Structure 1
Amino acid sequence: MHEMIRRGICLRAVILLAAVAASFGGVPGCAQPTIQEREYDAPQQFLLGPEDVVEIAVWKNLELTKTLAIRPDGAISMPIIGEVQAAGLTTDALAQRVTERLKPFIANPSVSVSVKDLNSYAVFVVGEVTKPGKYQLKSYATVLQAISLAGGFTDFAKKNKMQVVRLKSNGDQKLREIHIPVRYDDVVAGRIESGNMILLSGDTVVVP
């Protein structure tokens, strides 16, 4: 009888220990939860913008090889061909545009474009963060990285009511403002499809 009681107590202790261990991530030797992976739509190529400094190299033509800053209106100015719109283009696209403009003046021009100084990528964080403001960066940042750069949330932040405000072109020289809701708890838990989205230049993270 005593042996049966002792075995019953031991069985209950084992069951209780297993339940406690499971609540803290499982018992030793058991399979652990797999790490969730998420894919993001990262920009394929960097788009040039105002204040970026580019080198336009024209093969065998030192007079046309220039290092230029893109003006606030998005254009650069080159000898012979004059004004060339550069903002919103990749380096390859700008090289192709300059090439086409040079063809009436130079036989078979060969043009390459490289970025010498990146200044145009900036995001904004406003509202209930420690250090709201403009953040000029040298590489793409995500929502969580932008919040970190801004010193994190204040005690009054409504983290699950954040928004990313983005300006998009309608193709008619007008901009359309869109608001993308971002719930902090869902982002860190990986519960939403958009996840920790990558910010585009000019995006504003609003923390009410």
Structure 2
Amino acid sequence: MFFVCRSSAHIGRLALAASTVLAPVAASAQDVREVMPAAALSSPSRYTVNAGDELDVFVWGEERMQRQVLVQPDGTFAFPLAGTIKASGRNVSDIAMELRERISLNYRAAPPDVTVSLREATGMRFYVLGKVRTPGSFTSGTAPNILQALSMAGGTAEFADVAHAVILRQTPQGQVVEPVELKRLLKGGRSLDPGDLAKPLPTLSSGDVLVIP
């Protein structure tokens, strides 16, 4: 369940602290710890495209339509005879299929085959801040769950208040916060009821901030 940040003074303080820390984190390359799985490039068909990624589009038999495209911040790119294509959250095979379907409307004969490949993967960027061993900015080829994100940040530091961990997320309606249940997970199996681990863990989206107070 999501709550608007301004409804809670405690969450408001967390948001202010996060925004204060994010500025120097983004400004200094030394503070950015990027984790890009090798699988993103070795298995591009499984990779989920993100805003900022670069793609190579090859339309067979149409040299004038071979080009590199950059996925825009809104997750789309424009292509001749196809218009605007939504790329974010999809793999290259799905994107190629939609491109071919749209381009086919301009051909009386059989449309040309379309190949889309991943040229450069920037991955989705998220932040882990607060009482963790290596706070900072991270990138991942896929959306990590909260435990994976915490692992990338080296785990919790001493005196971390995992009972009040939250995810800060920016939406068109404003900043929202999602409380996350970390305390029972980090304590281990003895504190978990049967079936607890069958529930999907919350995942981070690009731009999210996981705060461990």
Asked if structure 2 preserves the Cα contact closer than 8 Å seen for 1:140 and 1:198, the reply is no
Asked if structure 2 preserves the Cα contact closer than 8 Å seen for 1:143 and 1:196, the reply is no
1:153 is matched with which residue?
A: 156
Q: 2:136, 2:198 → 1: CA distance?
A: 24
Alignment partner of 1:205 is 2:204: no
2:79 is matched with which residue?
A: 78
Q: 1:186, 1:150 → 2: CA distance?
A: 17
Q: 1:145, 1:160 → 2: CA distance?
A: 17
Structure 1: 5+ residue runs without aligned partners? 1-43
Q: Cα 1:146–1:125, aligned 2, differ >3 Å: closer, same or farther?
A: same
Q: 2:79, 2:47 → 1: CA distance?
A: 22
Q: 1:88, 1:140 → 2: CA distance?
A: 10
Asked if structure 1 preserves the Cα contact closer than 8 Å seen for 2:48 and 2:142, the reply is no
Alignment partner of 1:193 is 2:194: no
Q: TM-score, normalised by structure 1?
A: 0.61
Q: 2:89, 2:151 → 1: CA distance?
A: 28
Q: TM-score, normalised by structure 2?
A: 0.60
2:121 is matched with which residue?
A: 118
Moved over 4 A (4+): 165-168, 173-178
Distance apart, 1:109 and its partner CA:
2.9
Q: 2:116, 2:149 → 1: CA distance?
A: 30
Higher relative contact order (CA 8 A, sep 6+): 2
Asked if structure 2 preserves the Cα contact closer than 8 Å seen for 1:58 and 1:65, the reply is yes
Cα shift readout 1:67-104 (whole Å, capped 9, x = no counterpart): 22212232223234443332233323322221222123
Q: 2:88, 2:57 → 1: CA distance?
A: 14
Asked if structure 2 preserves the Cα contact closer than 8 Å seen for 1:56 and 1:65, the reply is yes
Aligned-pair Cα RMSD in Å: 3.3
Q: What letter matches 1:206 in structure 2?
A: V
Alignment partner of 1:184 is 2:183: yes
Alignment partner of 1:104 is 2:105: yes
Q: Which has the larger radius of gyration?
A: 1
Q: Cα 1:186–1:102, aligned 2, differ >3 Å: closer, same or farther?
A: same
1:22-101 correspondence to structure 2 within 5 Å: 46-101=47-102
Q: 1:67, 1:122 → 2: CA distance?
A: 22
Structure 2: 5+ residue runs without aligned partners? 1-44
Q: Cα 1:74–1:174, aligned 2, differ >3 Å: closer, same or farther?
A: farther
Q: Cα 1:182–1:199, aligned 2, differ >3 Å: closer, same or farther?
A: same
Cα shift readout 1:26-76 (whole Å, capped 9, x = no counterpart): xxxxxxxxxxxxxxxxxx954322111112222222322222221223222
Q: What letter matches 1:149 in structure 2?
A: M
The percentage of aligned residue pairs carrying the same residue is 24
Q: Cα 1:177–1:109, aligned 2, differ >3 Å: closer, same or farther?
A: farther
